Amino acid sequence: QMTQSPSTLSASVGDRVTITCRASQSISGLLAWYQQIPGKAPNLLIYKASSLESGVPSRFSGSGSGTEFTLTISSLQPDDFATYYCQQYNSYPLTFGGGTKVEIK
C-alpha cells in the first residue's frame, strides 16, 4: 500500500514543491515517480528513489528510504502542472500511490 500526500497541491511558478509517498512496509528503495499530463501516458521521472531518468530536468529530485519518500520540484515551471504518482516495485503486486495533482495557485 502506497499513500501519497497531499492529494492536491496549489502552487505558483517558481515555488518549491514537495510530495510525500509512504509505504506500508519497507520497499528497499525500489520506488519510482511519474508525471502524468491529462490525456497522456505517464512519464518516468525518478527511479530507485533518487535516480533521475535520462532527459528529465534537474529541478526534479527524489529522496527517501525505508518507508518514506519525497519528490521535490525545486522551482515549479508551467509544464509541471500535472498529476504525480509514486510506484513501488519491491514486490508484487506492484502498487501506485493515489496521485498528487499540482494545480496553479
Site string for another protein, 7-36 (x = CB under 8 A): -----------------------x-x-x-x
User: Which letter does DSSP use for residue 29 in this model?
Assistant: T
Q: Would you state the cell numbers that stand for residue 59, as one nine-digit string? A: 529541478
Q: Is 99 in the site for another protein (CB under 8 A)?
A: yes
- Main-chain dihedrals φ then ψ at residue 78, nearest 5 degrees: -55, -35
Minimum separation from the CB atom of position 32 to another protein (A): 4
Q: Would you state the cell numbers that stand for residue 25, as one nine-digit string? A: 512496509
Which of helix, strand or coil describes residue 79? helix
User: Which letter does DSSP use for residue 74 in this model?
Assistant: S
Q: Which of residues 37-96 bind another protein (CB under 8 A)?
A: 41-44, 47-48, 53, 85, 87, 89, 92-96
Residues in contact with another protein by CB under 8 A are 30, 32, 34, 36, 41-44, 47-48, 53, 85, 87, 89, 92-99
